[in-house]
Each structure stands twice: as structure tokens, then as C-alpha cells.
Amino acid sequence: MSKADTRRRLLAAALELSASKGFDATTAAEIAARAGVSEMTFFRHFPTKAAVLVDDPYDPLIADAIARRPAEEGPWQATVRGIADAWQAVEQPDAAAVRERLAIVASTPSLRSALAEGSAATVGAIREALERRGVVRHEASVIAASVVAGLNEALLLWASSQPGDLDDAIHDALDVLGGR
């Protein structure tokens, strides 16, 4: 079984168990067993139980896309447009699965805090990309944290209450963040 297949099976198991008994009442061992792998395999793929639902593999793509934006763009614009570029470059995930995962995150306080903790890596990647563009650290940090917080909030709202598809939700959020 490939690494991607194992990750998909672990995510599916986590979603099934979270729906039936709640995320906080589900153990990593139960998720692993449902996916047909060992608990050790679970932790090779995810550093924590929460990471199975809040993991974000896009940080390097986002940082690279921001770094490639035209030099004349201001840091805020380069960040918002870089994220849009990165989103367009990835294979679009199954929106129903993303909505299900984020709905669990939105309704589980421990996962909301795990999402915030996990977002620190995204903020750091964006900050570093902006610093490479010559933006001073404090300004880069504020921009990165603001944009990530805005996207997280928009996606959690979409997952828990808004109609429409994932692509529209992301583009709508980026439009707001971009001042449109």
C-alpha cells in the first residue's frame, strides 16, 4: 500500500469513528485498527491524533508561490495571490471529504486549537517567503498570521454552514482578503 493510500485510509477511519463516537472519544489506536494498520504506522504518518484531521501539506507550495510573485507586488497582495496560485496548482481534493473533515474540526474545541497550532507552520512558511522578498520580519509575521486566520475562519464557516463548493469558498475568502 502506498503512503498516500495509507494516509487516505487513516483519514477515512478517523472520519468514520469521529462521526460515530466523537473525535475526542476516539483513540489513535482505534483509527489505526479501522484503517488496517498498526498504531506505529499511524504515528509515522501523523505526529498527533489531531493531525489526521488538521494536517496541511501545502506549506511548501504556498511559500514557493509567494516567492515567485512579481517583485512589484506589495507583501499582502503577493501573499493572497500566491496562495491563489498554489491552490490552482494542486490537484483539487474531494470537497465533500474536506467539508466533512472541517465540520468535525469546527465542532470540536480540541481540534480548533490543534488547527491553530498547525497553522503556525503555514504562518512560518509564508513569513519566510515574505522575508526572502525583503519584507521586515514583524510585517511579514502580521501579514502571514492575518491571511492564514482569515482563510481558516472562512473554511470552517463554509464547512459548518455555507453552501457552495470548496473552490468557491477559497476564492471568496481570497477575494475578501485581497480587498475585493
Residue spans of the domains in the chain: they are 3-51, 56-177
Q: What per-residue confidence (pLDDT) applies to 178?
A: 86
**pLDDT at residue 116 is higher than 70:** yes
CATH class of 3-51: mainly alpha
Task: Give me the DSSP letters along 98-152.
Answer: HHHHHHHHHH-HHHHHHHHHHHHHHHHHHHHHHHHTT--HHHHHHHHHHHHHHHH
pTM of the model: 0.83
Q: What per-residue confidence (pLDDT) applies to 105?
A: 87
Over residues 43-88, the pLDDT tens digits come to 999 999 999 988 877 888 999 999 999 999 999 999 999 999 999 9
Q: What is the topology classification, in CATH, of domain 56-177? A: Tetracycline Repressor; domain 2 (1.10.357)
**Mean pLDDT of the 101-125 span:** 88
Q: What per-residue confidence (pLDDT) applies to 124?
A: 94
